Structure 1
Amino acid sequence: MKKQVACQYAIARFLPYAETGEFANVGIVIACPELGLLRVKFAPLRRTKRITDFFEGLNPRIYRESLRYLEVETSRIASSLKNGPAATKMAFEELTRPREALLRFSSARAILSDDPESTLQTLFEKFIERDFATKEYHEKILNKGVATILAGAALKNYFDPEDVGDEDFNVRFPFVNSLDGSPLIAIKPLHLAQDEPSKIMDHGSHWVARVARLKKHGNMPGNLLFAIDKSEKTKQQRVAKEIITDLKDLGAEVVRVDDERAIVDFAQRALDRGH
């Protein structure tokens, strides 16, 4: 069995708009002082679409130049690294120190490793590769799109993120319009465009079950809209259609997330009831 050594790692984060606090994970640095080892791994510079999708309207050049600068800084620090635990620890601290910059590092975290190179790759896959592949990421993008549509129609202020349900069972919706504490109108962007049909079924069925439970408890909003995206591929469309049918059978309305007119017309009900 290989000997495990104590290491530290930190996550490089791209934060273009400090006022919002939103960031995207773009790299990993790991240091193992006992071995005198310092390694980094950044997302490829050419992969900017995921960043510009996440930060709508961002010039990709800003991201590329920021990451390129950090790579140069990392190379400078690594090249000046001297042997010994103390020097490695100092280099790690210098690289990850707090900065007022577009690229910053998370606080340091400890990890035991018997193969730091392999551990670096594992951490990269966990925090960077999967960071942009999860349904949560895609739905965050959809949420921002719906928020933009509502804002453009001067309706965003009528909606807030809220828990719908009771103490026994409740569900968080990103856009809810309530009266006297009772949710009357809710909108949920739903990602149904996964590459694999089984993933569409799993995620969609999860929300079908949630709505069914709310309805059973008498807590389903009278006006519930799912704004979906879906794949253009035949197999994926077939599965998405099944999920859509199930949601409609429960009394929810379903439109495409890019159907601005339908979303605005639905949200307009917040005004139509005089609230």
Structure 2
Amino acid sequence: MPFAETEEFANVGILLYSPKQGFVDFKLAPIRFARVTDFFDDLDGALYSNALRSFADELERVRDFGRKMLGREQVNFFQEVTRYREGVMTFGETSSMLCDEPTIALETLFERYIGRSFATKEYREQQMVKVLRHELKTHVDNVRFKQQRLVADYVPVNMPLVACIGNITKVIKPIAFDQTRPLNLIEHGEQWISRVKRLIQAKTIKPEHMMFTVENPMTKDRNIIRAFNEVSNEMHDLGVNVTQFEDKKSIYSFASNLHENEPFELMN
């Protein structure tokens, strides 16, 4: 699934065929897959879901037709099916593998390229930073947020989105709470709470000039939700701004809300 402006792609499915066995099947990401629409910061959710439904219908027809073929005939057929075409959904380069059970191979490939590609908090947070950097550049004039190392006394802290406002430093830190265990969620949140607390105590930043943009857990697990609420309360206790990652209006307002006598200065 391509994003034309940045030439980036998100994997949303696997199509697998075995000419020797006549096997053909596919697996696609869920219709409600927020991580894909968030990955492409201005991709409308309806566009993704509608495109995926249409693509699934097309692949069902391809699967039914391809299962009637064997050998070179099936190979030629799928070379044509996967040929590059302009569109919201496109096929990547085809590749081959050796396997005894195509059904198992399909699940393995799906987990590797779709399920796991958005699974780590580190990867997800990188995408959140990329989204915000692009959006801030587009929607907030005369401000440049960039990665910068801030120092709390003797402790350096790398922050992903930093801008200078005269002698004021504004910081935005996206956090994804997609951990599967309560302890992991708490440890991840408290790690950043501790870093920000150090910066505040060292007077490197003021609480009102710091913003956490958070992505809530998608699970309904009570213990995960309880852990998230605990971490969220600790963030608010710092006196910093805490908002949802999807609340772009509040983020833009924070980024562009200038002191009357202290205009933004672009960072070199």
Q: TM-score, normalised by structure 2?
A: 0.65
Seq. identity, %? 23
- Partner Cα distance (2:25, 2:156) in 1: 44
Cα distance 1:75–1:101, how it changes in 2: closer, same or farther (>3 A)?
Answer: farther
- Partner Cα distance (1:271, 1:111) in 2: 60
1:31-180 correspondence runs (5 A): 31-32=17-18, 35-43=20-28, 47-50=30-33, 53-54=37-38, 55-59=43-47, 60-76=49-65, 78-79=66-67, 81-83=69-71, 86-131=72-117, 133-135=119-121, 136-137=123-124, 140=127, 144=131, 154-155=139-140, 158-164=143-149, 171=158, 173=160, 175-178=161-164
Give the match for residue 184 of structure 1: 169
Paired residue secondary structure (1:42): strand
1:255 aligns with 2:238: no
Question: Deviation string for 1:99-137 (max 9, x for gaps)?
Answer: 212221222344443433211111112223344555444
- Partner Cα distance (2:4, 2:82) in 1: 18
1:27 aligns with 2:10: no
1:201 aligns with 2:186: yes
Cα distance 1:116–1:265, how it changes in 2: closer, same or farther (>3 A)?
Answer: closer
Give the match for residue 9 of structure 1: none
1:226 offset after TM fit, Å? 1.0
Check whether the contact 2:175–2:213 (CA below 8 A) recurs between aligned residues.
yes
Cα distance 1:237–1:142, how it changes in 2: closer, same or farther (>3 A)?
Answer: farther
1:81 offset after TM fit, Å? 2.5
- Unpaired runs of 5+ in structure 2? none
1:253 offset after TM fit, Å? 1.9
Query: How large is the Cα RMSD of the aligned pairs?
Result: 4.5
1:239 offset after TM fit, Å? 2.7
1:187 offset after TM fit, Å? 0.7
Paired residue secondary structure (1:117): helix
Q: TM-score, normalised by structure 1?
A: 0.64
- Partner Cα distance (1:156, 1:71) in 2: 47
Question: Deviation string for 1:186-219 (max 9, x for gaps)?
Answer: 212222365642342243245346657x859x89
Give the match for residue 3 of structure 1: none
Aligned residue identity for 1:95: V
Cα distance 1:193–1:271, how it changes in 2: closer, same or farther (>3 A)?
Answer: farther
- Partner Cα distance (1:31, 1:183) in 2: 58
Check whether the contact 1:53–1:141 (CA below 8 A) recurs between aligned residues.
no
- Partner Cα distance (2:88, 2:174) in 1: 29
Check whether the contact 2:162–2:169 (CA below 8 A) recurs between aligned residues.
yes
- Partner Cα distance (1:179, 1:91) in 2: 59
Check whether the contact 1:197–1:235 (CA below 8 A) recurs between aligned residues.
yes
Paired residue secondary structure (1:19): coil
Question: Deviation string for 1:67-115 (max 9, x for gaps)?
Answer: 3224323443x145333xx445434433322221222122234444343
- Partner Cα distance (2:205, 2:77) in 1: 55
1 or 2, which has the higher strand percentage?
A: 1
